[in-house]
Chains A and B, each alone.
Chain A
């Protein structure tokens, strides 16, 4: 096998590692936090605190 064949395998292995990292963390978060907490972000709340639309 040449160097580039090894690179192909390395790319697959790294892809699996990154994919698994995301999936495992996703599962961990979903099982640790309530849906209400995860979807609690509201548009404009921080904006209203930091920016004042006054002339």
Chain B
């Protein structure tokens, strides 16, 4: 295409990302990244404060993410470009905020991808053990294969990538529903009264509830990734709000059902120990049901949810990296689009070795914590972003695909919940929190004093918006 026109001496034809996605793909991207948190990870909240604390964390985090989804839906329905929150920050707050938000996104998703690949390697080893294999399975080839297969899929095109995510995410979600239905029919017995009586209800009191908030995020972490599809959906103003809101509703249902099933079957001491106890609580619950069908279904659900999460993370991290390259926030080389597959291929390739290095060389809990902290910093930016957006461009100045209700209450609630979660993270991972904030301060200085000189300042504001109020 471009080669032919160049050979003919004509003008170079522009190569852009393809607009081929619909609301279902947006749903698959958001829920696909997150649903693994229902299959594993959330149960650390039980260890921090008991079963009730995990339920309170589930609902408070649900409130936090409902605010995230509403705010994101409004802003991104007007900023229909790859990069999601990075592009929002660039247009609404400024370059330094945008640079930081772009890095939060790339780190959060790449670390999550690495964590998912580690988990898939572990799951394969468990399948081997369950099948009677007595040797020590080398997980490395399965970790590497996960990353390379999904990178290949992403490289080949966004439609196939998210169709794949749609199918495997739907299977994983249906598996949770089937397990829940089995509790209604009596196939699986629940024992909430016995398992949550006395000291088991809130073993560490109120501070346990606050501490549980850290892992309460795990129920929903990543739903904001839907915005990365903004440049590839056919109708951003309709598909992004619809897909995102449907996604958070799905997750609220899945999270509550997961808590209900698992706390009714597994003792809190076992459930809350995600390392030596219940690594995959839904799968463990299905095993205790005694049904081979449920065990196989939830085993497949666990693997599919993990794969869907890694797949969505590659998609999102590469779009954020690509958008930053295209704006010269990073070398422009990263802003290339594949002429046939129409994907940000250099960004996809560049992030593969980084994900493999973290997956093979870093401990899982550190990788997950780095991902959570980057996500938390991103959520703190969102309320500031939407307040400034409404002040600079009030409702009567820009047409929005979705207008979130009760402004500024969701923004204030989100800010307060972020503050509580920072405290919760500080209780368990204070050193990492401080180290990571230090890291972002250093890279901000690098961007301000060195990198920003390469940015074409006038070219980076692309939305056809009127002049902001007050400017």
> Contacting B236 at CB < 8 Å: which of A9, A32, A41, A47?
A47
Q: How far is the CB of A43 from chain B (nearest CB, A)?
A: 5
* Number of interface residues, chain A, beta carbon within 8 A: 41
The docked-state distance in angstroms from the alpha carbon of A50 to that of B133 is 56
- Assess whether A15 is in contact with B82, with CB atoms less than 8 Å apart: no
Residue B152 CB within 8 A of the other chain: yes
Interface hits, B413-471 → A, CB 8 Å: 460, 462-465
Per-residue interface assignment for chain B, residues 84 to 111, with 1 indicating a CB less than 8 Å from any chain A CB and 0 otherwise: 0001000000000000000000000000
- Assess whether A41 is in contact with B465, with CB atoms less than 8 Å apart: no
The docked-state distance in angstroms from the alpha carbon of A43 to that of B135 is 53
Residue B63 CB within 8 A of the other chain: no
* Number of interface residues, chain B, beta carbon within 8 A: 60
The docked-state distance in angstroms from the alpha carbon of A9 to that of B236 is 44
Main secondary structure of the interface of A (DSSP, over half): helix
Residue B80 CB within 8 A of the other chain: yes
Closest 4 CB pairs of A and B: A44-B462, A37-B2, A11-B141, A38-B336
Main secondary structure of the interface of B (DSSP, over half): loop
Of all chain A residues, the one with the shortest Cβ separation from B323 is A43
- Assess whether B133 is in contact with A42, with CB atoms less than 8 Å apart: no
Residue B192 CB within 8 A of the other chain: no
> Contacting A48 at CB < 8 Å: which of B128, B138, B323, B464?
B464
Q: How far is the CB of A51 from chain B (nearest CB, A)?
A: 6
- Assess whether A2 is in contact with B133, with CB atoms less than 8 Å apart: yes
What are 14 pairs between A and B in contact, CB < 8 Å?
A3-B133, A14-B148, A15-B148, A22-B155, A26-B345, A29-B338, A41-B14, A41-B16, A41-B17, A41-B335, A41-B336, A41-B337, A43-B326, A47-B80
> Provided the pairs A19-B148, A33-B339, A43-B327 are in contact, do residues A38 and B87 lie with their beta carbons within 8 angstroms?
no
Q: How many A-B residue pairs have CB under 8 A?
A: 146
> Provided the pairs A47-B231, A51-B237 are in contact, do residues A15 and B141 lie with their beta carbons within 8 angstroms?
yes
Q: How far is the CB of A4 from chain B (nearest CB, A)?
A: 5
The docked-state distance in angstroms from the alpha carbon of A8 to that of B2 is 42
Binding site for B on A (CB under 8 A): 2-5, 7-9, 11-12, 14-15, 18-19, 21-22, 25-26, 29, 32-48, 50-55
Of all chain B residues, the one with the shortest Cβ separation from A25 is B155
Residues of B within 8 A of A4 (CB): 128, 131, 133, 135, 137
The docked-state distance in angstroms from the alpha carbon of A11 to that of B462 is 44
- Assess whether B336 is in contact with A11, with CB atoms less than 8 Å apart: no
- Assess whether B6 is in contact with A34, with CB atoms less than 8 Å apart: yes
Residues of B within 8 A of A48 (CB): 462, 464
The docked-state distance in angstroms from the alpha carbon of A19 to that of B149 is 8
Residue B399 CB within 8 A of the other chain: yes
Residues of A within 8 A of B145 (CB): 11-12, 14-15, 18
> Provided the pairs A12-B141, A43-B82, A43-B326 are in contact, do residues A18 and B349 lie with their beta carbons within 8 angstroms?
no
- Assess whether B149 is in contact with A18, with CB atoms less than 8 Å apart: yes
- Assess whether A44 is in contact with B81, with CB atoms less than 8 Å apart: yes
> Provided the pairs A11-B141, A34-B2, A43-B87 are in contact, do residues A53 and B463 lie with their beta carbons within 8 angstroms?
yes
